[in-house]
Amino acid sequence: MPGEKMASKLLMLFVPLAAFLFQRLFQPSLQFGDHRETVYNHVPGTCRPVEGVVHGSEDIVRTRDGLAFISTGLIASPVFNPDPWYLQRKGKILLFNLKNPEDGVRELKIEPREKYEDLQPHGLGLYENQAGEIRLFVVNHLKDGERVEIFRYVRPEGKLKLIRSVQDPLLYSVNDVVAMGTDAFFATNDHYCRAPWAKKLERFLGPAWSNVVYYNGSVASVAADGFSVANSVVTPPSGEVVYVSDSLQQDVKVFRPRPDHSLELQSVIHLFTGVDNLNICPDTGDLWVAAHPSVTDIFKHIQDRRHLAPSQVLRIQDPAGASPEVTELYANDGRQLNGSSAAVVYNRRLLIGTVHDTLLYCDVTVPL
Amino acid sequence: MAAKLLLALVAVLSAVIVNHIAKIISAAGVLKHVYNHVPGTCRLVPGVEQGSEDIALTSSGLAFISSGLLPPGFILDPVYYTFEQKMLVFDFKNPAEGAKEIKIVLASGEDFMPHGLSVYEDDSGEVRLFVVNHGKGHRDSVEIFRFDAASNSLHHLKSVKHPLLYSLNDVVATGPETFYATNDKYTTGLYSRMAETWLLLPWSNVVYYSDGEAAIVADGLMYANGINISPDGRFVYVANPTTGVVIVYHRQDDNTLTFSHDITLHTGVDNIYVDATTGDLWVGAHQKPIQFSVHMQNASYPCGSQVLRIQDPATENPRVTEMYSDDGQAGLWGSSAACYLNKQLLIGTVNHRLMHCTVDVPL
């Protein structure tokens, strides 16, 4: 009899505890801080989808004079069972001139041909110098390993010529890249693990093993770590501050680079949403942030493209200062735009990219 | 045996309590994060600092605004007791002139604390204003005024009192002397009203008044707050801030209401304005009602404001757009009403300021 009493007492304790742990681990919306129910639609002006973009526009970067480079055809993350529609995609780089939005997008030729065939583009970085040279840094997910491809943009023909294809043991789960020179860059490794099942576990258990690395032209080193999912990295032209978004910690961290290019944490901007890619306005230093209000829904959207995933674009003024000001420029429950992942603004024109949906162009008529 | 029964009882009770707490957390907006955005250029209307709880618009673009409300059922910061109760008017055709006080011609000795408003205009050209009035000692009534534009004054026509008009919040006129009104709570005491809120007691209702008679036409509501009617008079809209829903009712020929559907908004919806041309609803709301409660107790505690617009509210697929959202940093605390006309938006608050915005986004 005493044994039974003991057993039933343990059960009474164990059952609610197990229920709690089960909920915590497998109720991702709670863990990820999803807030789909309170995503209210609004636009900053007239918005319309850009024709011809159907396989996503995961990252966007723009030159000082409004030339936007867009990565499309992102390979569906093997962590999920992706919707078969995504298998039809082809990795490309598109060009959109924010000075002439009516021209829409056009595909950029890539040389050499083999590089074009293999391209699985993800994050982008841009190098622009006073002489007018433009280099595009592209995160490329090749089967035999991650690369950061450095292209030179050849203006008249509208093509990208490969200059270097960077490989390094410390580039193993690359998401985004920011150019720090003709051959140098910071890059984010969004996970530590490489196997799809391990990445899933990494997200649930949250060991915070994601990091940012610096490549100096010949070798990479870890610049900062302790991120849950370091997604995007950007700097202003001066390079005196480095911003890194963390999708799971729902924030943007502000760093000061040391002489050895390691990063010292200065401040954290909490955004309470699944932050994706960052962009900086070169004139004002404002941050343009695209986010997923519901990380669970963008995951489901990857498995079934009919499943709606909300979108959000935030603007942060004075991001490196004491009181950054956050404004929501765009929000949608998924009916107009699914899974926003990048945003750029040029001259009251907003371009919003998505992981696997289309590309949205908006005229901004609200005060900026 | 008895121990097992007790255990079962405890399990059931804890499930009920946890469920109740979850509902409260959701209703109070505790876990919500508020983002800021505006539809155009916004500025606070000077001189309005003691509330602008409800706004009612005439066909000539004149907005009546109730000010100085001490909302029943809240623990209030003493500073609110210094507020002056008045009626203001804002002309959408001359927004630069701001809000002016209207002279009220009332029988002497009458207490006046205006709350919900409704404009009634008919072919005679007369503009009537129905005002929910909280008389001292919990005596609620609906006052009917005639607006005299020439002298900018409201002339009192009638004071409607009835036993079924006991905890009034808002009113919507359906005829020169007929209206629907909401009773937002059942009891009138401060603590009993708070208990009704926290215990989520569905004791709120909607009443129809006509010719000395009143009847309850919708019952068992959690918190019937703002009320309004579609331009064709066929649908009645009731805002329920506790459930975060606008309830849509069919209005029958005998003025009774039958439930049509809910528009779920997950926010503390307060008053509803209906655009006469499009039938769109413009709703003033409290994103985090818990913050609003704290603001009632502490006048310097900021709280957010939100305006939602609902197109096709009477259909199965209403479209919701957020026209304004602020976490308090813009200096407009506790939005309760929104009024739209000609690319201008007027946002009223329970006991704070009044904001005017241009609407520069497509509608």
Q: Do A326 and B323 touch (CB under 8 A)?
A: no
Which has the minimum average pLDDT: A18-22, A167-171, B309-313? A18-22
Q: Do A366 and B40 touch (CB under 8 A)?
A: yes
Q: Kindly tell me if the per-residue pLDDT of B78 is higher than 80.
A: yes
pLDDT of the residue at A15:
75
Q: Do A366 and B38 touch (CB under 8 A)?
A: yes
Which phi and psi angles does A302 have, rounded to 5°? Answer: -65, -30
Complex-level ipTM: 0.92
Tokens of A204: 């649930």
From the list A35, A44, A326, which residue is nearest B361 (CB)?
A44
Residue B172 Cα distances to A166, B138, B316, angstroms: 70, 21, 24
Of B210, B57, B209, the residue nearest B119 (C-alpha): B57
Please, how many CA atoms are within 13 Å of residue A41, restricted to the half-sphere of its CB?
18
Sheet holding A360-363, edge to edge: A47-49, A360-363, A349-354, A340-346
Does some domain include residue A315? yes
End-to-end CA distance of chain B: 66
For residues B209 and B217, the answer to whether their CB atoms sit within 8 Å is no
CATH code, domain with A240: 2.120.10.30
Does some domain include residue A5? no
Tokens of B83: 């507020």
Q: Is the dihedral of CA B187, B193, B195, B199 positive or negative?
A: positive
pLDDT classification of B8: cutoffs 50, 70, 90: confident
Which has the minimum average pLDDT: A162-171, A296-305, B291-300? A296-305
Q: Do A40 and B321 touch (CB under 8 A)?
A: yes
Q: Does residue B115 carry a catalytic annotation? A: yes
From the list A41, A46, A325, which residue is nearest B362 (CB)?
A46
A272 touches B: beta carbon within 8 Å: yes
Record the pTM: 0.93
Mean pLDDT (chain B, rounded):
95
In this prediction, what percent of chain B has a pLDDT beyond 90?
88
Q: Any idea which residue has 């390691």 for tokens?
A: A262
Nearest chain B residue to A368, by CA? B40
CA distance B36 to chain A (A): 5
For residues B361 and B347, the answer to whether their CB atoms sit within 8 Å is no
Which phi and psi angles does B236 have, rounded to 5°? Answer: -115, 135
Does some domain include residue A8? no
Q: Do A328 and B40 touch (CB under 8 A)?
A: no
Task: Name the DSSP class of B122.
Answer: -
Nearest chain A residue to B41, by CA? A367
From the list A38, A45, A325, which residue is nearest B32 (CB)?
A38
pLDDT classification of A2: cutoffs 50, 70, 90: low
Of A127, A147, A125, the residue nearest A135 (C-alpha): A127
pLDDT digits (tens, 9 = 90+) for B325-359: 999 999 999 999 999 999 999 999 999 999 999 99
From the list B37, B319, B321, which residue is nearest A328 (CB)?
B37
Q: Which helix (H) or strand (E) holds B197?
A: helix B190-198
Tokens of A36: 């789909």
Which has the minimum average pLDDT: A2-11, A85-94, A177-186, A216-225? A2-11
pLDDT classification of A177: cutoffs 50, 70, 90: very high
Number of domains chain A contains? 1
| Residue A321 structural domain | 33-363
Nearest chain A residue to B319, by CA? A41
Tokens of A86: 């995504």
pLDDT of the residue at A3:
64
The one-letter code for the residue type at A300 is K
pLDDT of the residue at A219:
96
Please, how many CA atoms are within 13 Å of residue A149, restricted to the half-sphere of its CB?
27
User: How far apart are the C-alpha atoms of A133 and A155, rounded to whole Å?
Assistant: 9
User: How far apart are the C-alpha atoms of A72 and A364, rounded to whole Å?
Assistant: 24
Residues in A closer than 8 angstroms to B325, CB to CB, are 40, 328
pLDDT digits (tens, 9 = 90+) for B150-187: 999 999 999 999 999 999 999 999 999 999 999 999 99
pLDDT classification of A10: cutoffs 50, 70, 90: confident
Q: Calculate helix-pair angle for B2-28, B289-297, nearest 10 degrees.
A: 80
pLDDT classification of A22: cutoffs 50, 70, 90: low
Does some domain include residue A341? yes
List the catalytic residue out of B20, B33, B115, B250. B115
From the list A44, A45, A327, which residue is nearest B36 (CB)?
A327
CA distance B41 to chain A (A): 7
pLDDT of the residue at B93:
97
In this prediction, what percent of chain B has a pLDDT beyond 70?
99
Q: Do A40 and B308 touch (CB under 8 A)?
A: yes
Q: Enumerate the H helices of chain B as residue ranges.
A: 2-28, 190-198, 289-297
Residues in B closer than 8 angstroms to A367, CB to CB, are 38, 40-41, 360
pLDDT digits (tens, 9 = 90+) for A314-342: 999 999 999 999 999 999 999 999 999 99
For residues A185 and A176, the answer to whether their CB atoms sit within 8 Å is no
- The count of other CB atoms within 10 Å of the CB of residue B217 is 19
Q: Kindly tell me if the per-residue pLDDT of A28 is higher than 70.
A: no
User: How far apart are the C-alpha atoms of B274 and B253, rounded to whole Å?
Assistant: 21
Query: If DSSP codes are grouped into helix, strand and coil, which group holds residue B338?
Result: strand
pLDDT classification of A78: cutoffs 50, 70, 90: low
Of B183, B157, B182, B159, the residue nearest B172 (C-alpha): B182
Beta bridge mates, B172 = B180
pLDDT classification of B229: cutoffs 50, 70, 90: very high
Tokens of B178: 């007929």
pLDDT of the residue at A341:
98
Please, how many CA atoms are within 13 Å of residue A322, restricted to the half-sphere of its CB?
0
Q: Kindly tell me if the per-residue pLDDT of A14 is higher than 80.
A: no
Q: Do B41 and A45 touch (CB under 8 A)?
A: no
Tokens of B292: 């609003």
Q: Kindly tell me if the per-residue pLDDT of B84 is higher than 60.
A: yes
Task: Name the DSSP class of B37.
Answer: B
- The count of other CB atoms within 10 Å of the CB of residue A91 is 21
A336 touches B: beta carbon within 8 Å: no
- Interface contacts (A, B; CB < 8 Å): 62
CATH architecture of B32-358: 6 Propeller (2.120)
User: Is A65 marked as a binding-site residue?
Assistant: no
CA angle B253, B168, B322 (to 5 degrees): 80
Please, how many CA atoms are within 13 Å of residue A129, restricted to the half-sphere of its CB?
8
- The count of other CB atoms within 10 Å of the CB of residue B346 is 27
Residues in A closer than 8 angstroms to B363, CB to CB, are none
pLDDT of the residue at B246:
98
Residues in B closer than 8 angstroms to A365, CB to CB, are 40, 360-362
Residue B332 Cα distances to A44, A243, A367, B56, B343, angstroms: 21, 32, 18, 19, 20
Q: Kindly tell me if the per-residue pLDDT of A26 is higher than 60.
A: no
Overall average pLDDT of the B78-105 stretch: 95
A366 touches B: beta carbon within 8 Å: yes
Overall average pLDDT of the A171-176 stretch: 96
Mean pLDDT (chain A, rounded):
92
Q: Kindly tell me if the per-residue pLDDT of A181 is higher than 60.
A: yes
Looking only at the bridges linking them, the beta strands covering B99-105 and B153-160 are parallel
Encode B290-305: b = buried (16+ Cβ within 10 Å), e = exposed: bbbbebbeeeeebbbb
- The catalytic residue positions of A are 122
Q: Kindly tell me if the per-residue pLDDT of A59 is higher than 80.
A: yes
A314 touches B: beta carbon within 8 Å: yes
Tokens of A257: 């680079």
pLDDT of the residue at A196:
82
Residues in B closer than 8 angstroms to A331, CB to CB, are 35, 322
User: How far apart are the C-alpha atoms of A115 and A131, rounded to whole Å?
Assistant: 27
Overall average pLDDT of the A100-114 stretch: 94
User: How far apart are the C-alpha atoms of A209 and A186, rounded to whole Å?
Assistant: 17
Q: Do B35 and A328 touch (CB under 8 A)?
A: yes
For residues A351 and A45, the answer to whether their CB atoms sit within 8 Å is no
User: How far apart are the C-alpha atoms of A133 and A153, rounded to whole Å?
Assistant: 8
Overall average pLDDT of the A192-211 stretch: 88
Q: Kindly tell me if the per-residue pLDDT of B297 is higher than 70.
A: yes
Residues in B closer than 8 angstroms to A12, CB to CB, are 7
User: Is B117 marked as a binding-site residue?
Assistant: yes
Domain parsing of chain B, residue ranges: 32-358
Q: Kindly tell me if the per-residue pLDDT of A32 is higher than 80.
A: no
pLDDT of the residue at B60:
95
Q: Write the DSSP assignment of A240-280 as a string of letters.
A: S-EEEEETTTTEEEEEEE-TTS-EEEEEEEE-SSEEEEEEE
Residues in B closer than 8 angstroms to A272, CB to CB, are 33
pLDDT of the residue at A195:
86
Which of A23, A32, A42 to probe the B interface (max B CBs under 10 A)?
A42
